[in-house]
Chain A
Amino acid sequence: MLDPEAAPRTSASAGLGHDSGVSPSAAPRRAAEERARPVPRRKRLSDSRRQRPTMFPDLETATPRLLLRKIFQTQPEVSPLVPKISEPWEPRESGSETHSERISNTSMKIQLPDLVSEDTSIITFHMSRKKKKLSISEFERAVDERFPQNLAQSMSDDKTLTRSLQASFATPVPPNTVEKRGLLRRPKNRKTVNVDAFEGGVEQNLLQIKDTENYLVDSQALSMTGTTVMMNDSKITLNNTELFIQPQLSEKSQGRLSALEPQLLARNTLERGSRAFNTAEPEPQKERLASNVDPEEEMVQEDHEESALDHADRSGPASVGKAWSLPRGQQDCTQQSSYAEQVSEPVSGIQKEHLTLNVNQEEEMVQGDHEDSALDHTDRSGPASVGKARSLPRDQQDCTQRNSYEEEVSGLVSCTFHRQTLSTPAVTTSQGRHLGSLSAQRSTRTSLREFVAHVIEKLNYGNEEDGMTDTEQEMVKDGAVKEGIAREVTELQSNMEYSEKLGEKLRKQSASHMNEKGEARTRMTPVEEEVMIKDAANQDSGKDVVEFPESAGARRLSRQSNAFFTRYSEPTRKKSIEPVEQTVDLDAGAVVGDMSELEEHKTEEEEISEDGAESEELSMEMPAFVHATAYKVSPSLSTPRSLKTAVPKSSPKPPTAKQAPKKNRTEQRRKREPALPSSLVKKIFSHYVKMPVARDAFKVVEKCSEQYFKQLSNDLEVYTKHAGRKTVETADLELLMRRQGLVTDKMPLNVLIERHLPLEYRKLLIPMATSGNKVIPSK
């Protein structure tokens, strides 16, 4: 019966012995409660509450009359509004939520003057709670709500109040419940996804978004990259959830490509772009591999890659849906990310067959040269679905070496396909070293590569091992296509060593580029290799190209990869994330477009290449090579035409075009430089908004901030002109803020300064007087 239920409730709420059954009596009771509540609310409620519990047993068996009596005893106050309240109370008993709402409304109205927050918050709050607990009449529920609400006001007063106020009273419960439960629930889900820090999960999401977008070549890709870039900055540490972290054969990008495809790449690219992967190359590859399996994981890994960067596990996209590769990649990523070098993300994505082979090869390569952490490489190599542990470690090693390189190459070359045939471990080692130096460069590129790798992976293209070395090896392993590539790679590797030193950064960039362009993964591997080789030679960019790509395509690919690298190198060089984002966007934008981009990047890279144009070229060549290999590997690639078009362009270009576009690129890049770091914007916005923000929303925020700066500069110019000055002064700023309504008579500028700016700045802006007649800052 309702009485027992009601009794405790009423007692709890305010001794309202509402009985659904006894409406007439309940009404007055409720009225009494209402009355009693508003006034003594807090005090009495607590008291009444205490009393009530004791009374509960009585209430249960009490009759309405008794309840009413108790109410009157406990809350004798009477409010003028009682009669009105009683009316709504009665209908409420009918048990419709609306009734309760009404009551709550009325109660709220009554109490609003007194306790605005309480009522609203309580009612809505409790409405939801009530539901859970018991099936009581609406009225009872409302009553209970009100009563406990008073008690439990504290916390959510503001929130609930606002919520309740904002939410329609028609359904008070849902909003609260949704809000509360949703808040509780969602984080759990997310966390379950990411074992690691929350950041990892966020990054994953971001990467996912990015990847998907990139992969889908949406127009939003650009925006995504922005967010992804931001993600990079945010530093998400992804943990590889793979059981074992196999050495990343190819850059992360590769692994990712295979697995996650765009998602990973997006992330990786971002990560890479922001950081220089040193040894992370192998990881990215692995990640790529794994990406296929676990897109999310890879994304996490990719985030790792950021940290690990160099570990670009190019292990390459590897066999397409090698689930295990993914976890490996992830694991690798996590490891590396923490290691911050070559979190050889288990490029699980990489096909097992290929991976194992590649890994082996990579390992060999790695031995020769370990840039940062052999571990990283090993992680990368891990992806070998086949489960060749050794192969993975090799990759990792290689990856470390080739991180910079690998990134570029790995993505594409990802040996997923042709791992089986390890062309020349020895060569790879040497190249691995080379790659190692490059890995740093590649880190930025790995993302590109990974992306490409992923894309490729998806298409079941050979996995592009991280870095060039890896890619080389992988390529060879993969098989027919790879073999040829591998050879090229080996060549590249040898060259790479040389060029590594020269074009470390470039590589990274290219790697990142390459990663981004997962699609061009396969292509990239050859290209990368080429590029790497180029780098190695540094002086003979051309010959590197010639050496490796036995096939013209490879060369073209290298060009493309170079472009990739250049693109990447740009962002990496530029420190600002935005360029990276852009590059990422580019990569993501279109598989086909990769090549063209690569070319562009090549030039850019060349421009940027600190080492010199040559190194850039080399790096560019490498990606081209990678691309070439990728191209070869995946004849069925949908982007062959793009490759082809890119190839012809690239072929004539490399020696000459690079230098010219390089300069332009550098200039262009420099122009692009002055852009607020997206990470900063993200941070500030998140801090102010205090709520989780969607990734694409950040892009909008970024655009808004750009627009804002435009307007700001316009306004400032007008103000200074109006004052007859040519220099913007603080007075102009103050006028601007006044115009915007930020500074008013009530709110002086100094207060705003004190509120929002850190102390150091405040000291600069507001003169402070200290003892001894000193004023700071001294004028």
Chain B
Amino acid sequence: MKRAAPRSTLRGLIKKHKPQLRLATNVDLLVHLNFLLFLHRLAEEARINAFENKSKIIKLEHVISAAKLLVNSHRGHVMLLPLLSLPPSRFL
């Protein structure tokens, strides 16, 4: 059921954003892993939101609010504070 990680696509994506950046051999796999975890978190958040609204379907607003939370916490280097301020349960 799990699909293969689109390695070349990932590399292309990063290249698109940062053409000067090089990638080591298996870095894109880790990028894929990171992406999976990101989606995982997003999905969790969205699911919680939908659940709170007593809705059986994930709706747009659920995802959006989840994304807002996640984007702030996702920064790797710039904003560390918001990351810390967020409840840890959100991530793990």
Task: Please indicate whether A and B come from the same complex rather than being unrelated chains.
Answer: yes
Residue ranges of A at the interface with B (Cβ–Cβ < 8 Å)? 162-163, 166-167, 175, 178-179, 182-183, 186, 671, 673-677, 680-681, 683-685, 687-694, 696-697, 700-701, 703-705, 707-720, 726-730, 732-737, 739-742, 744, 747, 752-753, 756-758, 761, 764-765
**Chain A hits for B77, CB < 8 A:** 714-715, 718-719, 739
B54 lies within 8 A of A175 (CB): yes
Is B81 an interface residue, CB under 8 A from the partner? no
Distance in angstroms between the alpha carbons of A293 and B17 in the assembled complex: 46
List of 6 A-B pairs having minimum Cβ-Cβ separation, nearest first: A674-B12, A715-B76, A688-B43, A689-B43, A733-B30, A713-B17
Residue ID in chain B nearest A691 by CB atoms: B58
A704 lies within 8 A of B58 (CB): no
A708 lies within 8 A of B92 (CB): no
Residue ID in chain B nearest A707 by CB atoms: B71
**Chain B hits for A739, CB < 8 A:** 76-77, 80, 83
A674 lies within 8 A of B56 (CB): no
**Chain B hits for A693, CB < 8 A:** 57-58
**Chain A hits for B30, CB < 8 A:** 730, 733-734, 737, 753, 765
Pick from A696, A703, A737: contact of B34, CB under 8 Å: A737
B92 lies within 8 A of A688 (CB): no
In whole Å, how far is A235's beta carbon from the nearest beta carbon of chain B?
13
A-B contact count (CB 8 A): 204
Pick from A680, A690, A753: contact of B3, CB under 8 Å: A680
When each residue 29-40 of chain B gets 1 if its CB lies under 8 Å from chain A and 0 otherwise, what string results? 111111111111
In whole Å, how far is A766's beta carbon from the nearest beta carbon of chain B?
10
B56 lies within 8 A of A753 (CB): no
Number of chain B residues whose Cβ lies closer than 8 Å to a Cβ of chain A: 64
Distance in angstroms between the alpha carbons of A714 and B71 in the assembled complex: 14
A166 lies within 8 A of B92 (CB): no
**Chain A hits for B76, CB < 8 A:** 711-712, 714-715, 718-719, 735-736, 739-740
| Contact residues, B38-70 vs A (CB, 8 A) | 38-40, 42-44, 46-47, 50-52, 54, 56-60, 62-64, 67, 70
Distance in angstroms between the alpha carbons of A740 and B37 in the assembled complex: 10
**Chain A hits for B18, CB < 8 A:** 713-714, 716-717
Most chain A CB within 10 A, of B1, B29, B40, B83, is at B29
Residue ranges of B at the interface with A (Cβ–Cβ < 8 Å)? 1-6, 9-10, 12-18, 20-24, 26-27, 29-40, 42-44, 46-47, 50-52, 54, 56-60, 62-64, 67, 70-71, 73-77, 80, 83, 88, 91-92
B56 lies within 8 A of A752 (CB): no
Residue ID in chain A nearest B16 by CB atoms: A674
Distance in angstroms between the alpha carbons of A710 and B32 in the assembled complex: 14
Pick from B21, B29, B67: contact of A720, CB under 8 Å: B21
Pick from A182, A716, A727, A740: contact of B74, CB under 8 Å: A740
- Given contacts A740-B74, A761-B5, is CB(A186)–CB(B34) below 8 Å? no
Distance in angstroms between the alpha carbons of A325 and B67 in the assembled complex: 43
B17 lies within 8 A of A697 (CB): no
- Given contacts A673-B12, A677-B6, A730-B24, is CB(A747)–CB(B92) below 8 Å? yes
Distance in angstroms between the alpha carbons of A747 and B17 in the assembled complex: 30
Residue ID in chain A nearest B15 by CB atoms: A674
Distance in angstroms between the alpha carbons of A736 and B80 in the assembled complex: 12
B73 lies within 8 A of A727 (CB): no
In whole Å, how far is A391's beta carbon from the nearest beta carbon of chain B?
42
In whole Å, how far is A218's beta carbon from the nearest beta carbon of chain B?
13
In whole Å, how far is B72's beta carbon from the nearest beta carbon of chain A?
11
Distance in angstroms between the alpha carbons of A205 and B66 in the assembled complex: 24
In whole Å, how far is B25's beta carbon from the nearest beta carbon of chain A?
8
25 contacts between A and B (CB under 8 A): A162-B51, A163-B51, A166-B51, A178-B54, A673-B12, A676-B13, A676-B35, A683-B3, A688-B43, A701-B63, A705-B35, A712-B35, A713-B17, A716-B14, A717-B18, A726-B20, A726-B21, A730-B30, A741-B83, A741-B91, A747-B92, A752-B37, A756-B33, A756-B37, A757-B32
B39 lies within 8 A of A705 (CB): yes
In whole Å, how far is A340's beta carbon from the nearest beta carbon of chain B?
21
Distance in angstroms between the alpha carbons of A178 and B73 in the assembled complex: 33
**Chain B hits for A166, CB < 8 A:** 51-52
Most chain A CB within 10 A, of B20, B23, B88, is at B23
Distance in angstroms between the alpha carbons of A693 and B49 in the assembled complex: 12
**Chain A hits for B57, CB < 8 A:** 691-694
In whole Å, how far is B62's beta carbon from the nearest beta carbon of chain A?
7
A712 lies within 8 A of B31 (CB): yes
**Chain A hits for B91, CB < 8 A:** 740-742
B22 lies within 8 A of A728 (CB): yes
**Chain A hits for B70, CB < 8 A:** 704
**Chain A hits for B24, CB < 8 A:** 727-730
A726 lies within 8 A of B22 (CB): yes
In whole Å, how far is A589's beta carbon from the nearest beta carbon of chain B?
19
Pick from A179, A697, A732: contact of B54, CB under 8 Å: A179
B35 lies within 8 A of A708 (CB): yes
Residue ID in chain B nearest A741 by CB atoms: B91
In whole Å, how far is A95's beta carbon from the nearest beta carbon of chain B?
25
